[in-house]
Amino acid sequence: VITGVLGGDLETDQSAARSRLSLASFSQAQELAADEEGVKIAGLAGYDPHAAGRFLGTMARFSNFAEGDPEGGDDFLATHPSTPNRIQRAVQTARSFGAPGLGETDRAGYLAAIDGITFGDNPEEGVVVGQQFIHPALKFTFSVPARYTLQNSPTAVVGIAGDGEAVRFDSAEVPQGMALTDYLMSGWIAGLDGDSVVRETYNGVEMASGTARTAEWFFRVIAVRFDSEVYRFIFAARENSSAFVRAAEETVRSFRRVRAGDLRSIRTVSVEVVTARRGETADTLASRMGRIPQARETFYILNNLFAGDELIPGQSYKIVSVK
């Protein structure tokens, strides 16, 4: 959706140019070749060559789960080869070493290594707390309306609403001396209404906003200069409704410097390795993840289990703890 508004002069938008170059770095064929070589190296080193297929399958499950698509599509990343194809190729390569069950897995060593590792957002890259995004290192925060679900990644924060709306928040490289209004009008926004571009200030933060329209989408684009860095909000909706306009305004006006109370709301979420006792089930272990949404489904995916699978007493399993 958001790429629809990045249809102007991409050369003037360094962030878009970087993304385009990054996506072009590896072709799907090269990724498949990398998978194949990785399986071969693991097998020749004495490790379980079939682990790659299991890993890709679990990745697909988790991606579909995180996106609210339990049935799953073909891809867990649109720019990567289709997941079923990757799994099939990985399994075929692994079979050249033999049937499943050979090679070292060192499950105990692996679980010991990840016990206590951060799960989900890296606080150094910002944290989602409900409808609020907090970046402790860069010292800013903003909130989205209740109908939006936020997801964080190293390159952007994306909010999705179930009624055909979305917002993307990212950074941009803008010369210090360039006015934000000039940046919005520098050619990188397709369908920009030049008359809509205005300078604004909220919570002492310099901003500039404008609207754009393509064949199917309406956009509201806001540039924010905070502590010498420039960030962007790009809101998209199929209809330029009053609710869409209000959501964009509320989000932008919430952008401000973090306070002590914001930082106190951040919780440590980590992987914890536990041992199943006799009589325990997936439900009982998942109940120890009570503050995690959809704890049971998360437990299944973390441990590559499915509904109905029995736990083995004395075996270690992964759960997620919040402190």
Q: What is the DSSP letter of 310?
A: P
Q: Which of helix, strand or coil describes residue 287?
A: helix
Q: Which of helix, strand or coil describes residue 269?
A: strand
CATH of domain 123-264: 3.40.1000.10
Phi, psi of 261 (to 5 degrees): -65, -35
Predicted pLDDT at 290: 75
- Give the span between the Cα atoms of 71 and 59, in whole angstroms: 14
Residue 164: half-sphere exposure toward Cβ, Cα within 13 Å? 10
Q: Which one, of 1, 82, 100, 86, lies nearest residue 43 by Cα?
A: 100
Q: Is the dihedral of CA 69, 74, 75, 79 positive or negative?
A: negative
Phi, psi of 30 (to 5 degrees): -65, -35
Q: Which one, of 184, 202, 200, lies nearest residue 192 by Cα?
A: 184
Rg (CA), the chain: 23
Predicted pLDDT at 272: 96
Q: Exposure of 299 by Cβ count < 10 A (0-12 exposed, 13-18 middle, 19+ buried)?
A: buried
The token duo for 109 is 């060593």
Predicted pLDDT at 68: 60
- Give the span between the Cα atoms of 81 and 122, in whole angstroms: 27
Tens of pLDDT along the chain (323 residues) come to 555 566 555 445 555 545 444 444 456 778 889 999 999 999 999 999 999 999 999 988 887 776 665 555 444 344 456 678 889 999 999 999 999 989 998 999 999 999 999 887 778 889 998 899 999 999 999 999 999 989 888 889 999 987 789 999 999 999 999 999 999 999 999 999 999 999 999 999 999 999 999 988 999 999 999 999 999 999 999 999 999 999 999 999 999 999 999 999 988 889 999 999 999 999 999 999 877 878 899 999 999 999 889 999 999 999 999 88
Q: Which one, of 123, 122, 138, lies nearest residue 170 by Cα?
A: 138
Q: Quick check: pTM over 0.75?
A: no
Domain limits of the chain?
Answer: 25-104, 123-264, 269-322
At the topology level, CATH places domain 269-322 in Membrane-bound Lytic Murein Transglycosylase D; Chain A (3.10.350)
Q: Which one, of 29, 125, 119, 133, lies nearest residue 81 by Cα?
A: 29
CB 185, CB 255: distance < 8 Å: no
The token duo for 184 is 């919005």
Q: Where are the beta strands (DSSP E) in 228-294?
A: 229-237, 256-257, 269-275
β-sheet with 198-202: strand ranges across: 148-152, 157-161, 165-172, 229-237, 218-226, 205-213, 198-202
SS3 content of the chain, % helix, strand, coil (to 5): 35, 25, 40
